[in-house]
Amino acid sequence: MKIAFMSAWNTTSGVCMHSEPIAKAFMEMGHDVIVFTFYPHDHHGDGITAENEDFVFPCFGTRFNTNTIDPRPFIENDYEILIVEDLGVLPGEKLNNLMPIIKKKAKVVHVVHENRPPDGTWFYRILWDSIVYFDHRQNFLKKAYPDAEFIPFPCYKMRTGDKIEARKKLGLPLNKKIVYSFSHRGYGHYYRDLPKELRNNTILLQVIREDTHELLEENQTENPYIIVKREKVITTQLFDDYLFASDVVILHKYQIKDQAVVSTTALQALGTGCPIFVPKGSDFFQDFKEALIHYTNPSDLNSQLITLLNDKSTLIDINKKAEKIIDKFSPDKIAKKFITLFETLLKNKP
């Protein structure tokens, strides 16, 4: 099957966390894949995470900035399925102008990333062959699209890394436990200090954006067990390296940010085997919350960190739960659900 994506690619965008693992699973299954993505100077996401592959064609800008599209890649390339990811940030009206040509050769599927009904009429103008959503809280789509299909969000595959080598690469201590506070992609600087019980043998690693105005380095000067690192962009490799180097990671995001409905960062992180702490009751972790460790406040987080870092049985239990989620939402299984949908669409092709 020849499949094209119109999506964020090789960026920190959560949309990218959906399209990339599925596209790569398609390729492993033997399907031909091409990707139409944003221009480097006008992309969706905080930054670029890797260089584009040969099958990737940057050919449009965001709706909010340049709002442009180069029609030639859509016209000149051969594909029978086009997956459009997150219309809300794409130059949708210009894409609609191309639909008469695109639909002569392909079925068009829209993967919706919004968490509430869009209020712009332009959003509903394109006549899709199928609508896909990945979170049950998006069932509002059924009112406009009764035949919308539910296909879960994919979890990244299991990856293995050497803790010592990752620490050497990042310049981190080799002989201490590391509690990693992730503060990119909208995640907050929630955890500021370690409990006294952990300070002798544990490092609090705070990785923040390069342009963060808050001077967290002051804490590092006063407390030798705190390390602050500033990163402009967390690339795909750097994302894994920090998690391989750490004993636990804290992902603090509570309220919904923009149109996000799921923590794509947590789904990306699970495959590294690093235990993940998240705030209890957060909207972002509903479908896989059993694979995570939940805290209610800093005191509760301190208590659970002490337990986890000193009790291997707790770590084994949470890793088993994580493995079940990784298998349940594996890119291979999610890709097969999409292929089944595509086969139905193509079977009914006039």
More confident residue, 125 or 164: 164
Q: List, for residues 269-308, the tens digit of each pLDDT value.
A: 999 999 999 999 888 887 788 899 999 999 999 999 999 9
Task: Report d(CA 96, CA 152) in Å as an integer.
Answer: 27
Domain borders along the chain are 2-154+330-347, 163-328
276 CB neighbour count, 10 Å cutoff? 25
User: pTM value?
Assistant: 0.90
From residue 178, alpha-carbon distances to 174, 193, 330 in Å are 10, 13, 28
Q: Does 2-154+330-347 match 163-328 in CATH topology?
A: yes
Q: pLDDT tier at 346 (50, 70, 90 boundaries)?
A: very high
Q: Are 159 and 326 in contact (CB under 8 A)?
A: no
Phi and psi at residue 314, to the nearest 5°? -65, -40
In CATH, which superfamily holds the domain spanning 2-154+330-347? Glycogen Phosphorylase B; (3.40.50.2000)
Q: Are 191 and 167 in contact (CB under 8 A)?
A: no
Q: Which fold has domain 163-328?
A: Rossmann fold (3.40.50)
